[in-house]
Amino acid sequence: MRLLLLAASGLLPLVIVLAWGIDHLFQERRIAAERSALELSRALGTAIDSQLRSVESLLEQMGTSDELERADLRAFHLTARRNAEQLGWRQVTLADGEGHILFRSSRAFDAFNAQPLEAESLDEVIKTRKPAVGNAVIAPSDGARTFVVRVPVMRGGQVVYVLSAVLSTDVIAKTLTHQDVPTDAVASVFDRSGHRLARSRPPALAPPTESLRKLLATDAAQGTGITITSEGEEAYTGFTRLPGSGWAVVVGTSVRATTKGFTTLLSVIAIGLATSLGLSLLLAWLLSRRVIDPIEQLKDGASALGRGEPVNVPPLDIAELDEVGVALNSAARERDMAHRLIEEALYTAEEANRS
Per-residue confidence (pLDDT) for residue 111, from 0 to 100: 79
Q: 342 to each of 183, 307, 324, 355, how far by Cα in Å?
A: 99, 18, 27, 20
Per-residue confidence (pLDDT) for residue 283, from 0 to 100: 77
Q: What is the mean pLDDT of residues 112-137?
A: 89
CA 116, 118, 120, 125 torsion-angle sign: negative
pLDDT in tens, 55-96: 999 999 999 999 999 989 999 999 999 999 999 999 999 999
SS3 at position 149? strand
Per-residue confidence (pLDDT) for residue 249, from 0 to 100: 96
Phi/psi of residue 347, nearest 5 degrees: -65, -40
Per-residue confidence (pLDDT) for residue 9, from 0 to 100: 73
Mean pLDDT of the chain: 85
Q: How many Cβ atoms are within 10 Å of 71's Cβ, its own excluded? A: 10
Q: Which own/partner contact pairs does 230-239 have at CB distance under 8 Å and 24+ positions apart?
A: 230/203, 230/206, 235/37, 235/185, 235/186, 236/30, 236/33, 236/34, 236/37, 237/34, 237/37, 237/212, 238/34, 238/35, 238/36, 238/37, 238/38, 238/39, 238/40, 238/41, 239/38, 239/41, 239/215
Which region among 103-107, 233-237, 329-333 has the lowest average model confidence (pLDDT)?
329-333
Phi/psi of residue 154, nearest 5 degrees: -95, 145
* pLDDT of 318 above 80: no
Per-residue confidence (pLDDT) for residue 321, from 0 to 100: 66
Q: What is the mean pLDDT of residues 45-54?
A: 94
Query: For residue 3, what pLDDT band results from cuts at 50, 70 and 90?
Result: low
Measured between alpha carbons, how far is 230 from 205 in angstroms, rounded to an integer?
10
Name the burial class of residue 45, with classes exposed (0-12), middle (13-18) and buried (19+) by CB atoms within 10 angstroms of its CB. buried
pLDDT in tens, 295-311: 777 777 777 767 777 77
Residue type, 98: E
